[in-house]
Amino acid sequence: MSEESKTTKSAASKAPSAVAKRKKGSKIKVAKGKVYVQSTYNNTLISVTDLSGNVIAWGSAGLVGFKGSKKSTPYAAQKTMEDTIARVKENGLQEVDVLVKGIGSGRESAIRALQGSGLTVLSIKDETPIPHGGVRPKKVRRV
């Protein structure tokens, strides 16, 4: 009886999984997508997604090769955008919506590099979070 249960368990573990996995090198063809630019004081992060939000490619100033305080420069943001767009153009991307977040110095130069890359920019939207009301103040100290 115990031998039968062992054989069924081992046979079940060898069965192929029902979840279909995507191959590592497969490329997704999309014609329209979104480009998210997050520009902080220390770095510039760029993500390119399809319209449903699945990331196609991403890049950062550190990935391009900049280190330390050079990551926060407008030149690093420009090179990051050029590098990311070069990888995405292989997937057939032609039209993009741009969503910018943050207050770093790389915002403008990243958008200019995107416009100069040959992709059609449909819209540019600023999604920088703005505090309203703030946190509750401390209670008044009584001495």
> Per-residue pLDDT tens for 84-101?
999 998 888 899 999 999
User: DSSP state, 135?
Assistant: S
More confident residue, 28 or 111: 111
DSSP string, 90-114: GGT--EEEEEEE--STTHHHHHHHH
pTM here is 0.74
H helices within the chain, ranges in order? 2-13, 61-64, 74-88, 107-115
Backbone phi, then psi, for 129, in 5-degree steps?
A: -70, 135
> Per-residue pLDDT tens for 35-68?
999 999 999 999 999 999 999 999 999 999 999 9
